[in-house]
Each structure stands twice: as structure tokens, then as C-alpha cells.
Structure 1
Amino acid sequence: MKLLIYSAKDYEIPFLGKANLNRHKITYTKDALDTNTAIQAMGHKAISIFSGDDASLIVLEKLWDLGVRYITLRSAGYNNIHIKAAKRFGFKVANVPEYSPHAIAEHATALLLAFNRKIVLANSQVHNYNFSQEGLMGFNLHSKTVGIIGTGRIGSIMVKIMYGFGCKILACDLEPDHDLVALCDVTYGTLDQVLKKSDILSIHVPLSYDNYYLINKKKLALMKRNAILINTSRGAIVETKALIDTLEKKYIEGYCTDVYEKEKSTFFKDHSRSGIEDEQLKKLLSLPNVLMTPHQAFMTPEALSNIATTTFENIDDWAEDRECKNELGYERIIS
């Protein structure tokens, strides 16, 4: 099968090439999928896209007219594709539901530790020969209460990591994990209960209609004044405007994130020379109590290898007319 891979990054191409095993004819493009670049898919029956690509209704219509019939995402999240429209056209769509939950949970932990112990500031200071310890105070994680929103593949690993630090774990999920209760003494409660009692909040749920702006102005107001909020899930789970207001007024201690609500127009590119136009993102980055990374939590060799392998398992299933276990249906998602 002829496959066009959009948003192909130099660091992932070796993993994709190895996983292909010379079974399919691959074309790589560094361009993201959008209304202008859809034409590149001409002559390809399948495409692979990343989380920054635009697979909205108008783009899908162009792809269908060009002869594309299969779309495999190199991500777990799929809020960037209009699933219902894709199914109406007749596309087969699949994702990578699990590539390395450890990578994401470990990155969330790294963000927390870096923020709490002022690692970025300290590193910057000593590189300028400033060895003063003023302003570098952190706190012990041991005995702190950590709230985990979502205890699925990633959230359950975050629970275990925080439990290893000696934290008390509160959790919120539609389906409580009884093994976590037994192994890590997790206490489940409502979202409001978890928000009110936690010193640290970590988000591990997918973006859906039900949890779009799950953490909004009202929910942020429930959090402790010294609480740290961590988001390695999807940006739009947190209402950015309300978050900025909360951070400016110092109603919470800080925000650590690997994602952003409107990252499609800015992330995955180098804007160091041209700057960015997103005023809301500029404001967020200007705040001293924000630590942000550019959607890099998945970037480990283990995760990239798993993403590549699953991507081609999806393609192989379609090419050989087999049922694809990762194929997406009509889930209610944000398109």
C-alpha cells in the first residue's frame, strides 16, 4: 500500500522505516496536513497523521476525492480528526491507543520535580555563575496529597510513581481501579473532592465533549492556594483564560504542562526568529509560575518504536483485509 506520512520528524523516520519492514511504499513529508497540503496525498491510498495535523471536514473531503481511504494516527489522542465525518465518507481510521504510558507519566513527574525544586531557575543561575540559593525553596513530596484525574493506562502509572514518593493518593475516574486501591491505598472521590483536598493535581484523561474545559474557572476556585496543576493530556481540558486569571492572582501555586489548548497553530515548529501571534499563549508563557514543554512527553525511543510498530500493524490489517483492533468508531469527541 502507498502511504504518505504527514508531519514526519527526522527523529521518528528511522523508527517508521524499521517498522515498515519494506512492506509498503512510504513517502514522508514534513508538512502538516491541512487544506493546502491535502493535495500531496494524491496517489496514496493511506496517510498517517500526528496530533498537530488538521483532519477536519473540509480536509477529509479533499482526501476522499484524492483517493485516500485509510488514516492512521501516530498518537493516542484523536481530537484533531472529525471521526463522524470520516466514517460518513467511508474512511478507515485507527490510532495508537498505548505506546508508552510510562513515558507520559514520567514526564509529568519530571515537570513536577523541576517546578517544585526550581531546577530551571537554578540551572540558569549557576550557568551565569550565580550560586546563591535565594528563591530556590521547594517542598518534600513525601506525605503530600496527590490527586490523579483519570486512572487509566497513564494515570495508573502516575499513581504508582507518586505512591513511591510516599504521597497520599486521591483519584477521580468513572471506573475505579480496585487493584490500585489495594496496591497503593488509593481513595476515589468526586472531581470536586479531589480538587479541594489535593496539594498536587495531575490530569490523565482524553479530550472529549464531556471533559472539554473540565478544569474551568469554577473548578480552579476549588483548589488549594498552594496547589500545583499538571497537564500532560490535552490542552483544552483546562480553560486557558480562566487558568491565566487564576495564576495571575496566585490562587494556585503553579501550572506544569506539556500541552496547550490551541497548540496546532504554534507547536511542532521553531518560531524563535519570527515569534508567535497567539497572545493568550504569550501571556501564559510570561507567567513565572508556569512551566511548559512543547508536547514532548512521548519522546523516548521506547515510545517512538511502539508508535511506529502499531502504525504499521494498522496499515497491515487494512492491506490484508483483516479486522483492525485499533480502528475508531463514532466516539463523541471534539472535532
Structure 2
Amino acid sequence: MTLHAALRVQRAGFRLSLDLTVEPGEVVALLGPNGAGKTTALRALAGLEAGGAISVNGSTWDGLPAEKRPVGVVFQDYLLFAHMSVLDNVAFGLRARGTRKAEANAIALRWLHQVGLTEFARAKPRTLSGGQAQRVALARALATSPQLLLLDEPLAALDASTRLRVRSELGRHLIDYPGHTLLVTHDPLDAMVLADRLVILENGRVVQQGAPRDVVRQPQTDYVAHLVGLNFYRGVADGTEVRLDDGGTLTIAEPAEGPVHVVFPPSAVSLFPSKPAGSPRNTWQAVVSGIEQHAHTTRVDLDGSPAVLADVTTATVAELRLQPGDSLWVSLKATEIHTYPR
């Protein structure tokens, strides 16, 4: 029972045109920069915004108000009802659909057991941790047995230490969920870990989709390349030489012909104070334009032909005494460069 959605939303200065399919048991992650249309797509699927033609197994949802759609939603801030107990929060959707209180509470208790929060049934949401509140919101969304589960930045409100654990818990629950799941996120790690397929949205349209491993290997836009942490260029290949559209030439190990994308990881880039002797097949001068500390490495942004990102160790930063404005030599082995047709 594949879910088919044709979402068309028009407003001043923006148009969403998204054709989406989700298989039963599949988790699809919708990623994109701010303003790409992710939230608009979620609202259209939920029935909170007009412009969505949606069908599952021949049954259409067009025109159905939000409360009539077989959809469960976990919002970014969870939106639990502060004046209700945890149990009443989970039972709310069932009661709103006409289920008797005793039956709704029994179902809600089963879901609280499922997410490991039975002992909090009588608690108020304000007493919960962020991870517990997220699990209550998930139980509330699933209690009505929805055909479509919408997750709107479900981990964004959590601190870093809690996020890792809750992401793992959420992944286990999604494996058991037989319906269709759409995860809306800006976090590539959430998408890579939780989703079976990525759909990348920019300016209201799909620019790339596929399994996470395929998107990582062959990004099609600058946004996607930045998302997965790769240096990304467009150029024209002639054998083992690629002339880049924005300036500069790179030598590659595997011959190619015609228009290509060129990618390589920042970790493949080496930096030297002077031109290295016996250097790799690609060397050029560049100027440091930015330095940013990451967990275990330092990201160096360099202007040159081409401009490039390099990930280096703290020891390298200290040895080179890196500062913005410094002129350095960049080196890159041809074997580290990957090309594919564009």
C-alpha cells in the first residue's frame, strides 16, 4: 500500500512542487535548507495546509480535515498538553476520534509500556525530561494507529548527550512501525541513521533522492555536498584532467570525459607552508579565510583556484600557526578525487 502524494502549494514568492512516495514500513527523510519547503510539505500532508493530493491503496485524503486524516504527528517541541496527565496526553487522539475513555486509557497504557514510561502515566508533562517528553509525543502519535507518521525535527529540542540515546530509541520504534514515516529534519546525522531514503528539497523542488549511502557518494548540489561534508565542484573532464567551472584544474586518477561533478573529503587535503617537494599531482596556493574547531579536527577554509576545505589536526594548526590571511600550499592526491557525470 504505497502512499502517493502530489503536493502543490503556492504563496507569494514561493511554490512547493513535490511528488512523494513512501512504502509501508519505510522511513523517508525530507531534508533541505531553511525556506526549502519542508514544513510546508509536512503541513500539507497533515491537512493543516491546502495543496496536497494524497492517496493510499486507492483511498484519497484530498479535502479531509486534519482531524479526519489517519496521520500521527510528533512536533519539534512535542506540544504536550500541560494541564493533562501523561496518560491523558497519549489517549487524547483516541478520545477525539470517539473511543470510549476506558478503552482509550487501556490503549494509552499499552503505548506507555511500549516506550518505557508506564510509571509516569499520572505525571504532568512539566516533570518529564526532554527524552521522556519525546517518547510521550511518539506514543500519542502512534496510539491512533495512523497510516502516516510525520516527525517534525523530533530530536531538535534535545541536548547533545540525550540526543544520541533518544535517536537510538526512536530508531527501534520506527523499525516496528508498519505504516509510512516521513521525517522532516535539517540534521544529516538524524537522517542518515533513521531513514531508508533521503529526499533533498531546495526552493520547493526535489534536487536529489536515494538511499543515504548513494546520496553521500554522489551529491548533486552544493547544499547536499555541504550536508555530507565534501568538497564539491563542477567541471569538464578530458582524460585525467578536469577544468573546474569556477577556476582551477585538477588531475584525477581515473580518466573521464565531459561534464562531471568532482568531490573529495576535507580530510584528503594537506597543508604546507611552502611548496612540497615530491608533491602529489595536485598542488596550488591558497589563503586561509576561516578556521573552525570541530570535535577532533580543525576545519580550515581556503580561498584559491579552487577554493577548498581542509580538515587538519590540532598539531598541524599549532605547527603552521594558522591564522586567517596566511598563504599556504594545498596538496591533494589524485587517487582521493571522485568524479561522476552531471
Output the TM-score relative to the length of structure 2: 0.25
Q: Which has the larger radius of gyration?
A: 2
Output the TM-score relative to the length of structure 1: 0.26
Kindly indicate which of the two structures has a greater share of residues assigned to strand.
2
Higher RCO by CA contacts (8 Å cutoff, separation 6 or greater): 1
